[in-house]
Amino acid sequence: MSLARLALAFLATVPTVVLATAPAQWPLTGAVGPTTTTAAKRAVICNVLNYGGAIGSADIGPAILEAFTDCVLPAATATLYLPAGSYSMETWVTLNGANHWAFQMDGVITRTSTTGGHMIIIENATDFEMFSSTSAGAIQGDGYLCRNAGPRLLRTITCTNFSVHDIILVDSPEFHLIVQEGSNGEFYNLAIRGTNLGGSDGIDISGTNHWVHDVEVTNRDECVTVKNPATAFLIERIWCNQSGGSAIGSLADGTTISNIIYRNIYTNGGNQMFMIKSNLGSGYVENVLFQNFIGRGTAYGLDVNQYWESTPGTGAGVLLSNITFQNWDAEIVSDTRAPVQFICADGAPCQGMVLSNVNMYVESGTAVNYCESAYGTGSCLKASGTTSYAVITSTVTLPAGYTNPPTLAGDLASGFATDSSIPIPTIPSTYYPGLPQISPLAKNL
């Protein structure tokens, strides 16, 4: 069949996905996402079934790579198309260098090799979009068969003006989605299901001017975590549903992180609501706002720990400054862990830590917060200074009449076992109690 006829058949059956744009607000420095519409990228359709692939294929990897090399790369604009259906994959692919293209992944790809690396890498793409038009396309890692001994699922490397949305990532042997630097990215309408074990990171993201929203993560490690370097990130309406919790770090030497907002973050169960973690090191984290956090049943609440058990840096410590925590509400399950702790580097005391309307309690009613070498307002923070100081504490008591924060209907009671298959979920339409999703699911457009 000719490319023209393929395109006509494709367009007749696939809904249009609109071009996404960023909200015009700080900290984003400009528009995010693709610069041309999904419809424009359908000028050429590169269907993997026409490049050696087949539904039920034992290895769809070579067909994806051939469709990309022979069809996407030569075209001015194109869509690499994986139709609905089930596919196995044992050959990993790196799709490097194309501009003005989309990867429409409507099928379900299941890992069948234990080779390390990444199942799919998108590298140096400009004006790019990876999505499922049915909001049901997925990568099933079946990590229970090779726990911490196989590939990561998806990685983007130094891409510009791009998006990943309406796909599902399940049970990676290692991490699920890594965004390695790049700029002007948007990541939304994602469901990530990992196992109840460390090394199962949901989203690890670095770069410049990225917007992450409407994401659900289940695992026992990072939920949505900022990595170095990073500037101008807006991360909102995140549902850490039995997850390790979100974080900044781990940080070491040469840290440059600034102008970050996390807001409307809901954490059900798991390790902590949020953590900033490092071990000595150098550089800075500055101008950060953590706003509207709800937590239920987490082991820790707000945990700033600059003596975290990670490989130590060579500097005296990463300087944390001008960081505000506003409107936090949670009841922590552990009676022996601090709802709030700032354990800052003695060689680089924290400056300008602000707690505003932070209500963090424990089930037993009385808890102790810890502060070390940390300055600001609220809890046990010292008001001002530049020198280190030993741990001091403050006591918080559950007030009479306190009611637990609201929930979401899909809250999980526990995480997923490490030794059995994790089912592919449906992408939800709500990620924070009382707020609608920002962008409609592709299947509803």
Assess whether pLDDT exceeds 60 at residue 2. no
Q: Look up 201 and say whether it is catalytic.
A: no
Average pLDDT over residues 192-202: 96
Q: Are 172 and 196 in contact (CB under 8 A)?
A: no
Which tops the pLDDT comparison, 144 or 20?
A: 144
Rounded CA-CA distance 165/342 in Å is 35
Assess whether pLDDT exceeds 90 at residue 427. yes
Predicted TM-score of the model (pTM): 0.95
Give the list of residues 6+ apart from residue 37 with CB closer than 8 angstroms, or none: 16, 18, 19
Assess whether pLDDT exceeds 70 at residue 7. no
Q: Are 274 and 260 in contact (CB under 8 A)?
A: no
* pLDDT value, residue 311: 85
Question: Which residues on adjacent β-strands are paired with residue 103?
Answer: 80, 130
SS3 label, residue 120: strand
Q: Give burial (CB, 10 Å; 0-12/13-18/19+) of 399.
A: exposed
Catalytic residue, candidates 221, 303, 329, 335: 221
Instruction: Return the number of other C-beta atoms located less than 10 Å from residue 181's C-beta.
Output: 18
Assess whether pLDDT exceeds 90 at residue 22. no
Rounded CA-CA distance 281/133 in Å is 44
Average pLDDT over residues 339-355: 98
* pLDDT value, residue 66: 98
* pLDDT value, residue 235: 98
Per-residue confidence band for 12, with pLDDT thresholds at 50, 70 and 90: very low
Average pLDDT over residues 365-376: 95
Which tops the pLDDT comparison, 225 or 26?
A: 225
Residue type, 405: P
Q: Is 113 left (phi over 0), alpha (psi -120 to 50) or beta?
A: beta
Assess whether pLDDT exceeds 90 at residue 404. no
Rounded CA-CA distance 176/49 in Å is 26
* pLDDT value, residue 6: 33
Per-residue confidence band for 369, with pLDDT thresholds at 50, 70 and 90: very high
Q: Are 355 and 377 in contact (CB under 8 A)?
A: yes
Q: Give burial (CB, 10 Å; 0-12/13-18/19+) of 216.
A: buried
Rounded CA-CA distance 44/54 in Å is 20
Assess whether pLDDT exceeds 50 at residue 9. no
Q: Give burial (CB, 10 Å; 0-12/13-18/19+) of 22.
A: middle
* pLDDT value, residue 150: 93
Assess whether pLDDT exceeds 90 at residue 31. yes
Per-residue confidence band for 79, with pLDDT thresholds at 50, 70 and 90: very high
Per-residue confidence band for 17, with pLDDT thresholds at 50, 70 and 90: very low
Assess whether pLDDT exceeds 70 at residue 238. yes
Q: Are 345 and 376 in contact (CB under 8 A)?
A: no
Average pLDDT over residues 197-210: 96
What share of the chain has pLDDT > 90, as a percent?
89
Instruction: Return the number of other C-beta atoms located less than 10 Å from residue 383's C-beta.
Output: 7
